[in-house]
Structure 1
């Protein structure tokens, strides 16, 4: 699978992506991705080559040199509903690249994967991802208070996080694209 945008290529992972992947997933900045934390190139290679069959996971690379700057992923939960997410290297923030990648990926899901509905969970304090979802035309369908815990407080008790759900339907995506 290859998606080409103005500045990016979204493609299947390659072995050469391990070092770049390790760079941005060695310290996930969002607690919900603590489970994706990588500790070595070997763990990065395992991440690249051992995803579940229901998971679509692609490298986001700069078009000019094919350097990995992030990844996008989607889990098919029903025949036509996908839960999506993304990771991006902080050194490439503020340039519109996450928006460009997410737009290309949503186009792919709605056009080629026959998605009817796409949604994503975003921690309430993750302002960058919330803004990205809104720029993509996704609506906030609510915020679940103390929804889940990914980390613990220093005393070992769970730290529960407020989590928003953003979603968009295929017909809404197409309407937004036609404007």
Structure 2
């Protein structure tokens, strides 16, 4: 896999990415990725080598120096439907890199992987990802109240998350795609 945009490259992971991956996954910013928490470069390397069946997972690096700033992923749920997501290093926030990378992933899925529908789950309090979905032209299809739990409250009880669904169809992507 190799996608080049104006400022980034979406590519397969390289062993040299372990340090950068550890930087942003040592403390995941949203609860749904608590299970992706990494504590060593060895764990980061193992994470890069392992992907569940039917999951595509790619590094996002800066074009100028090939430093990893995030990753994008897509889980193929059936022949033409993908669930997408992303992780990004907070140090590179607010510069449009996540939008550039997510748009590259969606474009690849629609044009090369046969996607008809792409959707993503976003925790209701994850404002950055909700805005990113909207910038990509994805529509909010609903919000499930207390849908799932990833972490516990201080008293040990499960903390249930309100989870929104954003989606876009290939025909919608083809109409709005401007990048």
TM band (smaller chain) = over 0.9
Q: Please, what is the CA RMSD of the aligned residues?
A: 1.0
Deviation at 1:135, TM superposition (A): 0.4
Q: Please show how residues 1-179 of structure 1 align to structure 2 within 5 Å.
A: 1-177=1-177
4+ aligned runs moved over 6 Å, structure 1: none
Mapped to 2, the partners of 1:31 and 1:177 lie a distance apart of: 31
Aligned residues: 179
Mapped to 2, the partners of 1:2 and 1:115 lie a distance apart of: 18
Mapped to 2, the partners of 1:99 and 1:136 lie a distance apart of: 7
Mapped to 2, the partners of 1:177 and 1:24 lie a distance apart of: 29
Mapped to 2, the partners of 1:48 and 1:108 lie a distance apart of: 20
- TM-score calculated relative to the size of structure 2: 0.98
Deviation at 1:155, TM superposition (A): 1.0
Mapped to 2, the partners of 1:39 and 1:31 lie a distance apart of: 16
Deviation at 1:154, TM superposition (A): 1.1
Residue ranges of structure 1 left out of the alignment (5+ in a row): none
Deviation at 1:53, TM superposition (A): 2.8
Cα distance per residue 1:62-111 (max 9 Å; x no partner): 00000000000000000110000000000000001100111111100000
SS in 2 for 1:77: strand
Residue ranges of structure 2 left out of the alignment (5+ in a row): none
Mapped to 2, the partners of 1:112 and 1:29 lie a distance apart of: 31
- TM-score calculated relative to the size of structure 1: 0.98
Q: 1:145 to 1:46 in 2, by over 3 A?
A: same
SS in 2 for 1:172: helix
